[in-house]
Chains A and B, each alone.
Chain A
């Protein structure tokens, strides 16, 4: 693996932003090892929901840890673990801003530092990462802790079920013909982003955010909003579409959203790049999902094995992409890209650089 950590033509005159600590909890268990092993197994983490009564729901499946984890406690744990890995002192932990992505502010752990809560649904965590990276790159902070969390609970489950957004065949099938929707999953994670560190786990080379200006919840079918977010991320990194060598897709498994995302990737020149949506494995963790996917991508990239796009039945002509199928793909990507979309036409793109 290239150890230089420098992408071709990366922007100079700004601080380099890197991930120096990561911690994650999903239905696969607590810790990055459990998450990586889980996604690379190709076996999705979905099972019957036992955490609360789902007898009145059409769908009764999600990706959950055993028992009833308390979000506040899980957030506190991952924040501490990420800061431990980054070797932050007590003073650094106390002074670093905290950018948190969650459904509501009340889920915050006891505040130890200046905090902002992002509530923009399925792009909340990626928006937080983009803002944190921007803050550091422009010298407004030396480090920022980004944390995000969602644990499957009755209210959101009931809403998604009532909105007929959940997959009635108990599987998430991104970009596949016959896909029927999403399934929810536990996801709690934290990363530490720092300026110019000595031991980066990965670099955040580029970020982009754009809106569709189209609909309350449906994406613009031509994917133009997401394509603009991707373009902004690549320009910021000083790389071209030809340099991107893996895409961790939003890939919710929803019929319209996946087609729009495929259109976006084509418009951005990424339709032949290996792509997988790991929501097919760990589930849709709502506000936290982008951070789960960022950590998954860094872990997978550093291990040289890219996860499959699980649940795939057969190609959909509306989603002509290079989907990773069958076995994980052996590759050390130099520039993996993570993309996410949400209600309201919100779109984000994060470009990672290998360490």
Chain B
């Protein structure tokens, strides 16, 4: 299945707009913002999958949870809702009415390619016509995010 890129965006850095219901970590707000930067360029179809790719995962939420447990404190309840990448995928899907599959991957390296492979599978199977693939990485040197909206090229 060949894919055509309809839109692409890279987070340029700076302040990330907060997203209601997500706290402490930049992971989910960053995913939502780079999705916005991508999708504001085109109108995505409803049959669009949301695919989150992140080698690191949300390290800040994981660390906050670990610290709370180690200190014998109860983690903040909102950390529960954002502890898996599905949460921000669902936020993006609801915001843009994207009713394709939700897939989250953690590859070894920060690359869109595993997400594009997943996009090819769901589009080839007919479970989606397009896919929004979002790459998010948190590290000590800083956050990075990139998003691409692809469409399957059917013969």
Binding site for B on A (CB under 8 A): 53, 56, 103-105, 116-121, 123-124, 127, 130-131, 134-135, 138, 154-156, 158-165, 207-217, 225, 228-229, 232, 236, 342-346, 348
Q: Is the pair A104, B102 in contact by a Cβ cutoff of 8 Å?
A: no
Q: Is the pair B86, A158 in contact by a Cβ cutoff of 8 Å?
A: no
B153 at the A/B interface (Cβ < 8 Å)? Answer: no
Q: Is the pair B74, A158 in contact by a Cβ cutoff of 8 Å?
A: yes
Q: Is the pair B99, A119 in contact by a Cβ cutoff of 8 Å?
A: no
Q: Which residue of chain B lies nearest to A118 when distances are taken between CB atoms in the complex?
A: B105
Of A119, A163, A164, A228, the contact of B104 (CB 8 Å cutoff):
A119
Q: Is the pair A342, B57 in contact by a Cβ cutoff of 8 Å?
A: no
Main SS class of interface, B = mixed
- CA–CA, A164 and B72, complex, Å: 17
Can you report 26 residue pairs joining A to B where beta carbons are below 8 Å apart? Answer: A56-B74, A103-B84, A104-B57, A117-B105, A119-B106, A120-B84, A120-B85, A120-B105, A127-B103, A155-B66, A158-B69, A161-B74, A163-B81, A164-B77, A209-B49, A211-B99, A213-B46, A213-B93, A213-B96, A214-B90, A216-B82, A216-B87, A232-B125, A346-B101, A346-B102, A346-B103
Count B-side interface residues using an 8 Å CB cutoff. Answer: 55
Of A53, A120, A215, the contact of B103 (CB 8 Å cutoff):
A120
Q: Which residue of chain A lies nearest to B102 when distances are taken between CB atoms in the complex?
A: A346
Q: Is the pair A214, B79 in contact by a Cβ cutoff of 8 Å?
A: no
- CA–CA, A120 and B107, complex, Å: 13
The 9 nearest A-B residue pairs measured at CB: A344-B90, A163-B80, A344-B86, A209-B101, A346-B102, A120-B104, A343-B86, A105-B106, A121-B84
**Total number of residue pairs linking A and B with CB closer than 8 Å:** 170
List the B side residues contacting A104 at CB < 8 Å.
Answer: 57, 62, 106
Binding site for A on B (CB under 8 A): 21, 46, 49-50, 54-55, 57, 62, 65-66, 68-69, 72-77, 79-91, 93-94, 96-108, 114, 117-118, 121-122, 124-127
List the A side residues contacting B100 at CB < 8 Å.
Answer: 209-211
- CA–CA, A162 and B78, complex, Å: 8
**What 5 new A-B contacts, CB under 8 Å, besides A56-B73, A209-B100?**
A119-B85, A120-B105, A236-B125, A345-B90, A345-B93
Known A-B contacts A131-B121, A162-B75, A209-B127; the reply to A215 vs B94 at CB < 8 A is yes
Q: Which residue of chain B lies nearest to A155 when distances are taken between CB atoms in the complex?
A: B65
List the A side residues contacting B81 at CB < 8 Å.
Answer: 163, 216-217, 343
- CA–CA, A179 and B135, complex, Å: 38
- CA–CA, A131 and B123, complex, Å: 11
List the B side residues contacting A123 at CB < 8 Å.
Answer: 86, 102
- CA–CA, A293 and B28, complex, Å: 30
Q: Is the pair A116, B69 in contact by a Cβ cutoff of 8 Å?
A: no
Of A131, A158, A348, the contact of B75 (CB 8 Å cutoff):
A158
- CA–CA, A160 and B125, complex, Å: 34
Q: Which residue of chain B lies nearest to A209 when distances are taken between CB atoms in the complex?
A: B101
Of A117, A138, A208, A211, the contact of B124 (CB 8 Å cutoff):
A138
